Structure 1
Amino acid sequence: MSENFGSPGHIQPLSIGNVVSAAVRLYRSHLKTYLNLAAIAHLWVIVPIYGWAKYAAISGLISRLAFGELVYQPESIQSANNHINPRLWSFFRVAFQVGISLLIVYFGLAIVGGIFAALLGVVLRGVLGGSGVIVVTTLAIIVTVGIVLLGLTWFYSRWIVAEVPLAVEENINGGESVARSWELTKASVFRIQGVVLVAFLVTLPIVFVFNYIPSLFLLRLEPGTAIYSLVYFISWIGSLIGGVFVMPFWQALKAVLYFDLRSRREGLGLQLRQPPL
């Protein structure tokens, strides 16, 4: 398998904080370009199937552009698109495969967590008796949620860069790109979970303002009314705007993670171009 990019270097593998910091620098340095691409991608979401494939491909395009900056080989959007566009449906396959896999994992973990919580409840009821119902119920909920969250983030961490090899490397298809992510991440899962947590906290204010706050107003309104429809539309627009701001950051983060994982496993070095003054 041959790659478009890659250069030897002497930079040590990045810490959790450095991965997120590098992603933030990329995001800030190319904010206008990334936001324009993200806006186009989110408009494509409205179109079923083909539009979703375009969204997935543009996500990969942002990661490719970010990766080019990391190895100090920047590309124009047109040049990068020459690599991305022929793989449109491969990007759709990656997104579909990872999405379905995570959905299956979620239901599986929910079942396992529920069974474990039920067994724990039986044991604790035998110890605490009827007076411990609240304690047992609370612990059961915590255990179930904990199993689901930890398990889901573990699997997500294995597939987090699933589309990046497809965006960057030659002679690779969608299935191989997903497998490549699984291979690259196998020794770094807990560190990646830390990266995901920190990145989530970084983007939380944007998500809260554009996604959560508008949704809170809907709880006070009666469905089917004109005001409910108006607020729902505003909430939908807000979620799109929030997605436009958040998506490029995550794609830049994936590019940094992908390169860092390759530097750990394949000896690639990292060069991050300084933003212009």
Structure 2
Amino acid sequence: MSENFGSPGQIQPLSVGNVVSAAVRLYRSHLKSYFFLALIGYLWSLLPFLFFIPAVITLSWNLRFNNNSFLVWLIVVLIGLIVYFYALGKFLVNAAIISRLAFGELVNQPETVNAARSQVKPRLWMFVLTVLLLLVISFVLLLFFVISLSLLQTLQWIKPLNLILPLLNIVAFFIVLAAIFWFAARVFIADVLIGIEAHLDPITTVSRSWELSKGNALRIILILLVSLLIPMPLQLVIQLIIRGIIQALIPPVFLQQATADIMNGSTNAISFIVMVYLLILVSAFLVNAVILPFWQAIKAVIYYDLRTRREGLGLQLRDREI
């Protein structure tokens, strides 16, 4: 696929189909490296579970012998939060490396995985802080919507409005849903910015994503909706295969018996259930590791497109199989 961009004033946005097609080509051409980066990221995501599950089980069994149980639980939770955010940062680093590599291919400046990792790895906590900032913003917006909807319900005492209140609720629901999609589109490339551009902090990252996506939120939403449909068949097939393997290895009757044994205080049953759920979790991570590179490639193409048109980089998609 080839797109020839002229001067900044004549630059046209990539179509939804072109963005998805470019992402598919990138993933297909770098399947092995992208998949292993995604897999490493999801393996890091297992770390909090590997910490909390043994910790909770151990503390639960020793609770009756520990007079300072509240202090111990508090320490465990604090350590667990550090472990969680560190694992989150490692996941985001590996995801951003995929986008950085994809962007390098688009601008004909390819990097090796090690070179990209050396640039992105030091920004681990920047990813975490940016996620926390976005969570705070999302919480404030959600609180605003909840208060607004609650105030809407207070109008039911007005009889004329009471008749159309159900309709108003439906309209309000779709407005909130549209606002959520719009906000997600405006900050969709935040992690890509951290992975590619230097000297960014959480606030400038969010503001730069906001600036680059200005006037393009609807198009990004359309890209996301189309992109959701692309991996669905593959994801469904993989899930069915993994579910079949798990059911073959662990028949449902074993789970029912283990659940009954847990009620009788069997430690072996608890260990068995934990192993089953860890197996299911790992299987889910494998499925997501197949899909993640596609989404990171989508982000890279969107970022490339927005920068090209807004900042007149004069770039073009490479006229070959990426």
Aligned partner letter, 2:144? G
Q: Does 2:207 correspond to 1:179?
A: yes
Aligned partner letter, 2:294? F
**Equivalence for 1:255:** 300
- Structure of larger gyration radius: 2
3-state SS of 1:163 partner = helix
Distance change in 2, residues 1:264/1:95 (3 Å): same
**Equivalence for 1:271:** 317
**Equivalence for 1:63:** 99
Displacement of 1:75 in angstroms is 0.5
**Equivalence for 2:191:** 163
Give 2:223's match in structure 1, choosing from 167, 186, 195.
195
Report the Cα distance in structure 2 between the residues aligned to 1:33 and 1:191, rounded to whole angstroms. 29
Report the Cα distance in structure 1 between the residues aligned to 2:139 and 2:105, rounded to whole angstroms. 33
Report the Cα distance in structure 2 between the residues aligned to 1:15 and 1:24, rounded to whole angstroms. 14
**Equivalence for 2:80:** none
Q: Please, which runs of 5 or more residues in structure 1 have no aligned partner?
A: 1-7, 129-135
Distance change in 2, residues 1:250/1:121 (3 Å): farther
Asked whether the 8 Å contact 1:259–1:270 carries over to 2, the reply is no
Q: Please, which runs of 5 or more residues in structure 2 have no aligned partner?
A: 48-83, 248-254, 261-268
Report the Cα distance in structure 1 between the residues aligned to 2:280 and 2:15, rounded to whole angstroms. 36
Displacement of 1:41 in angstroms is 0.2
3-state SS of 1:192 partner = helix
Q: How does 1:177-256 map to 2 (within 5 A)?
A: 177-206=205-234, 224=259, 232-256=277-301
TM-score (norm 2): 0.68
Displacement of 1:28 in angstroms is 1.4
Report the Cα distance in structure 2 between the residues aligned to 1:256 and 1:12, rounded to whole angstroms. 14
Report the Cα distance in structure 2 between the residues aligned to 1:156 and 1:141, rounded to whole angstroms. 23
Number of aligned residues: 256
**Equivalence for 1:94:** 130
Report the Cα distance in structure 1 between the residues aligned to 2:156 and 2:17, rounded to whole angstroms. 37
Asked whether the 8 Å contact 1:57–1:92 carries over to 2, the reply is no
Distance change in 2, residues 1:127/1:78 (3 Å): closer
Calculate percent identity across the aligned residue pairs. Answer: 38
TM-score (norm 1): 0.78
3-state SS of 2:108 partner = coil
For residues 65-96 of structure 1, give each alpha carbon's deviation from its aligned partner in whole angstroms, at most 9, with x where no partner exists: 01000101110011111211221211222222
Distance change in 2, residues 1:87/1:116 (3 Å): same
Displacement of 1:272 in angstroms is 3.1
Displacement of 1:182 in angstroms is 0.9
Distance change in 2, residues 1:127/1:186 (3 Å): same
3-state SS of 2:307 partner = helix
Greater relative contact order structure (CA < 8 Å, 6+ sep): 2
